[in-house]
Amino acid sequence: MSVFDDIKGIATGFGVTLRHMLRRPVTIQYPEQKRVPYPRFRARIVLTRDPDGDERCVACYLCSAACPVDCISMQAAQRADGRRYAAWFRINFSRCIFCGLCAEACPTLAIQMTPDYEICKRNIMDLVYEKEDLLIDGCGKDSSYNFYKHSGIGVTQPRGAGLEEKPPVDVRSLMP
């Protein structure tokens, strides 16, 4: 009986390959056909602005610290009103592994991943993106979040004007 089982097994195999021969290939012909990535696809990194049009980045170095391949570097600076910003901000995309840890670490939602995966370059130095290459004009994924409205006490607005803040208590009027 085992001979017939063997023959049946071989014939089944031939059937399977024949079925697959007639099936549509799963290949995507890349330069002509492009798959549309999901909105949360992790590719090229950008620096976003808050709804008022100011840079969100406060140069806290958390992204740079979170980066497992050390591809983010920057220099912090401070404006006259006390608001921090990055004097220069650099991402070396030839080292970046697109893990997204920088975007997770960012407290101000400044650094975000975009679905734009086509960033091949002939010259490897072109993959080092400076701040002006990274900064975009929009807000990215969250169009309403503004870090300084929630935090950064007394930097861009007077004390007590923040969203979750109560007005400062006058201790002299606080009598029993």
- Cβ 5 to another protein shortest distance, Å: 16
Q: Does 25 bind another protein (CB under 8 A)?
A: yes
CB contact at 8 A, 88 and 74: yes
**84, β-bridge pairs:** 78
Q: Which residue of 2, 17, 123, 173 would you call a contact of another protein, by CB under 8 A? A: 17
**1 touches another protein by CB under 8 A:** no
Return d(Cα 174, Cα 80) in angstroms, integer. 34
The answer to whether the beta carbons of residues 30 and 118 sit under 8 Å apart is no
Q: Give the count of beta carbons closer than 10 Å to the beta carbon of residue 153.
A: 15
Q: Is 14 in the site for another protein (CB under 8 A)?
A: yes
**Interaction pattern, residues 28-67, with another protein; x per rule: CB under 8 A:** -x--------------------------------------
List the alpha helices (DSSP H) in the chain.
2-21, 62-66, 101-105, 131-134, 147-150
Segment contacting another protein (CB under 8 A): 26-34, 54-62, 112-120, 141-149?
26-34
The footprint of another protein (CB under 8 A) covers 10, 13-14, 16-18, 20-27, 29
